[in-house]
Structure 1
Amino acid sequence: MSRRGGPLFLLGLVLLSFNLRPAAVSVGPVLAEVREGLSMSATEASLLTTLPVLAFAVFGALASAAAARGGLHRVTLVALLAVVVGLAGRAVTGSDIAFLALSLLAVAGMAMANVLMPSLVKRHAPERIGAVTAIYSTALAIGLTSALLLTVPLSTALGGWRGGLGAWAVLAGVAVLPWILLARHDRVTPTPGGPITVGQVARTPLGLAMAAFFGVQSIHAYVMFGWFAQLWRDAGYSPTAAGALVGLIAGVSIPLSWLLPPLLARSSHQRRILVAVISCYPVAYVGLLVAPAAGAVLWALLAGVGACTFPLILTLIGLRARTPEGTAALSAFTQSAGYLLAASGPFVVGLLYDATGEWTVPLALLLALVVPMLALASWLARPHFLEDQLGGSTPRRSTRP
């Protein structure tokens, strides 16, 4: 790893990654207390749970253009500061409207930083994309699992939901420190032919395939984290046990996020790895159809393995562009369009569940969605490159800011 991929960058990347998911998921475990404390309506609560998707769709799409103009590290620093201010502000406000606005600020920063991480890896460690992606995707998984499991205990220990949510702001503030140093080294230089835009990526087969793949995978993840606790409660589990099973799905990704990205990056048989991971989904879903209670732990483990398609997609973003600028643009379009597509998943599953009163049809829908995932994975496993599909005016070599 080069000097630019040295200890300061790795420390900054790990701290940044750990602090991105709590902005989106920490409020869920204490949502009832937040609603009571702020007299929040059901409509406002629904909007609050939708904000991360909206942030990725809007602010994630702006990330690459902002980095091209302001500097990759500077924009990352500003995004992280937005997370800190949003998390801290919503922990102390007494207004439901302000809580929503500050939550939007936090998840907007999260979305922009999340989109820029593959580009940061491409710039600092172009020869070790798999290994460094493993580092930050594992930190993401730990941050996600920690926010799901620790927000309630923190709230209890710190005197209520304000303390529980505010604790994540303190941790995010610590993550700012290395990025202050990293941002000092940004030097913005014009990119020959102009920066690669999200619109250009949207007109390439690779961009469309990556966005569709990311979107379908995110549908599975949103449905699992949003609805599987209810599925297991309907199967006879207590609320605590059902929540623990969903936590198990998230926890599986911690070790596998460390192992799978470098394996994919080094492999000459990327299709086999992608197909093997994705194929855990249908086994889990069939198991949930046949024996949702008896095999619950096994189905949760398999669903968790399937969800590790997420770090593999992040690895592919870094592998399918030749430059940091191309990586940033590909990441921006893949994640913003993908999350926008995924927003429909939990809503449709909820409608199907309400209409039928059971889980057969929703699980059948998830089974059907595995088919396009496998087809897209097979195509994306081939060595396509974004810049090759943009035309001759696009730079092939990196220009460092």
Structure 2
Amino acid sequence: MLEGTLASPRARRGGALLLAALVLVALNLRPTLTSVSPLLGDIRAATGMPFRLASLLTTLPVLAMGLFALAGGRVSRTIGDRHGVALGLVVIAAACAWRWSSAGSGALIGSAALAGVGVALIQALLPGVIKHNYLPRLALTMGLYSASIMGGGGLGAVVSPYTAHLAGDWHVGLGIWALPAAAALMAWYAVPGQMPEAAAAGRGLEPLLRNRRAWLLALYFGLINGGYTSMVAWLPPFFVQRGLTAQHAGSLLGLMTAAQVVAALTLPALALRSADRRPWLAFGLLLQLTGFIGLQLYPDTLRWLWVVVTGFGLGGCFALCLILTLDHLHEPRRAGELAAFVQGVGFIIAALAPFAIGWIRDVSGGFGAGWLLLTVSAAAMLGVTTRYAPQGYSAAMRGLGANKNR
């Protein structure tokens, strides 16, 4: 853990290099999602995809993130965390390279699903690695990790349409992300970072499947991230429909992501003063409510404000929800298994949101009802937040491992 790794200058350098590698890896976890929506007009014009089918470009990778995150424990026990993360980067790079040369909607949808598999492997393994190496500074490190994920999403939203414009080809805007994935792979293998020890005997998913708190955390994570996946998929098309250019709409998504980055760094730091994460989670959800309501009522006059407020709420809640999950169990391997389960089930839930809003858009011709759906979901999660009193973690996790912090 960090206390040990900071014992010597050499160890401190190793810890800093590992942290830098974690940031580089995390930057690759969202561009395959956020690069699509700013280019959706060009993609639909070239392929003839209706909105309902185009929603699969966001829904399928998020669904794959969920399904394959549940296999994270098996991957860790089979090839280890280091090789598991590397495999995820290879899969992401392959999916982006496929997009570079893809011509039809089927290839685009297949590459989206493949990218989701790579992201799932990485997201399932890195929280355990972080808790193992940085336990005394868990909240700050998870905040940096979350901010890096969001920052990568912002780069995807801004860089992809710009690159496509320069190249005169939207394929380049989607496929260019194979290059940073390859760079992250080299950086990851260059760092001799410590990984959690393999479990003596894998218990699989069965104990988590029987635990009510694990399911509640997964539902919470899923509905919170349903707001993010929906905004990634439909915020640029929403504003393009209202008369903005694809570049301008993509910039708004980039602005939302910048707010997420700030929140992912800020709210975990503020939450350090107390083991109770509920006040800051509630604050993030209230910001989301404000933003979603603003998008319904005043989408043109104050668009930048609603985008920033929503992004701040989404980014803060993403980071804090992961921290909340890891707080429930002390031992890094067990906490990592819980985080993989929560993300697995949660991303399956989150995958349904953009599909539902795409269906609503096709039926109604607008996005207003979709923003209303997200408003109701955020309000419901405010009620669930009250359940996460830290003194109840041990009882909630009974049978999954002792929590020495509680």
Q: TM-score range by the shorter chain?
A: 0.7 to 0.9
Counterpart in the other structure of 1:199: 206
Does the 8 Å CA contact 1:209/1:380 hold for their aligned counterparts? no
- Asked whether 1:271 is paired with 2:278, we answer yes
CA contact (8 A) 1:73 1:183 kept: no
Deviation per CA, 1:71-118: give whole Å up to 9, x if none: 122211121122223322432456765554444333211111012221
Distance 1:126-1:375 versus aligned 2 partners, 3 A rule? same
How many residues are aligned here? Answer: 393
Any conservation in 2 of the 1:130–1:261 contact (CA below 8 Å)?
Answer: yes
In structure 2, the CA distance between the partners of 1:120 and 1:312, relative to structure 1 (3 Å rule), is same
Q: 1:46 to 1:355 in 2, by over 3 A?
A: closer
Q: Distance in 1 between matches of 2:379 and 2:103?
A: 47
Q: What SS is found at the alignment partner of 1:128?
A: helix
Q: Which moved more, 1:336-345 or 1:99-108?
A: 99-108
2:397 aligns with 389
Query: Paired residue for 2:185?
Result: 176
Provide the secondary structure at the position in 2 that maps to 1:279. Answer: helix
Deviations 1:150-207 (A, max 9, x none): 012223334633433343111111111232245796686542xx33433322321221
Counterpart residue number, 2:170: 161
Q: Which runs of 5+ in 1 are unaligned?
A: none
Residue number among 10, 15, 26 corresponding to 1:6 in the alignment: 15
Task: Specify the alignment match of 1:304 in structure 2.
Answer: 311
Tell me how large the CA RMSD over aligned residues is: 3.1
**Aligned: 1:378 with 2:389:** no
Change beyond 3 A, Cα 1:278–1:152: same
1:51 is the counterpart of 2:60: yes
Change (3 A) 1:89 1:359: closer
The Cα shift of 1:15 comes to: 0.7
Whether 2:339 is the aligned partner of 1:331: answer: yes
Q: Are the structure 2 counterparts of residues 245 and 188 from structure 1 closer, same or farther at C-alpha, using a change threshold of 3 Å? A: closer
- Aligned counterparts of 1:290 and 1:105: Cα–Cα separation in 2: 38
Residue identity in the other structure for 1:280: L
User: Is the deviation greater in 263-272 or in 378-387?
Assistant: 378-387
Tell me whether 1:123 sits opposite 2:132 in the alignment.
yes
**Does structure 1 residue 113 correspond to structure 2 residue 118?**
no
Instruction: Describe the superposition over 1:101-153 as per-residue Cα deviations: whole angstroms up to 9, x where unpaired.
Output: 44433321111101222111111111111111122111111110001100122
Match of 2:161 in 1: 152
Amino acid at match of 1:12: A
Contact 1:210/1:380 (CA < 8 Å) preserved in 2?
no
Q: Specify the code of the residue in structure 1 equivalent to 2:331.
A: T
Query: Is the contact made by 1:236 and 1:293 (CA closer than 8 Å) also made in structure 2?
Result: no
Equivalents in 2 of 1:102, 1:230: separation in Å? 21
Contact 2:143 2:265 (8 Å CA) reproduced: yes
- AA of the residue aligned to 2:297: V
2:372 corresponds, among 361, 364, 373, to 364
| Number of the residue aligned with 1:255 | 262
Structure 1 residues 290 and 181: CA distance shift in structure 2, 3 A = closer
Q: Distance in 2 between matches of 1:31 and 1:283?
A: 27
Q: 2:82 aligns with which of 50, 73, 78?
A: 73
1:349 aligned partner = 357
- Specify which of 264, 278, 283 is matched with residue 290 of structure 2: 283
AA paired with 1:56?
Answer: M
Match of 2:152 among 118, 123, 143: 143
Give the distance between the partners of 2:239 and 2:44, measured in 1 at CA: 25
Letter of the 1:76 partner, please give it.
V
The Cα of 1:312 is off from its aligned counterpart by 1.3
Superposition deviation, residue 267 in structure 1: 2.1
Q: Partner of 1:249: helix, strand, or coil? A: helix
Aligned residues: percent identity? 26
TM-score if structure 1 supplies the norm length?
0.86
List runs of 5+ in structure 2 lacking aligned partners. 6-10
Partner of 1:22: 31
1:228 matches 2:245:
no
Cα pair 1:245 1:297 within 8 Å, conserved:
yes
* Contact 1:253-1:307 within 8 A present in 2 as well: yes
Shift of 1:56: 1.3
State the secondary structure of the residue aligned to 1:125.
helix
Instruction: State the TM-score, normalized to the length of structure 2.
Output: 0.85
Matched, 1:88 2:94: no
Q: Secondary structure at the match of 1:294?
A: coil
Indicate the SS of the match to 1:321.
coil
**SS of alignment partner, residue 380 of structure 1:** coil
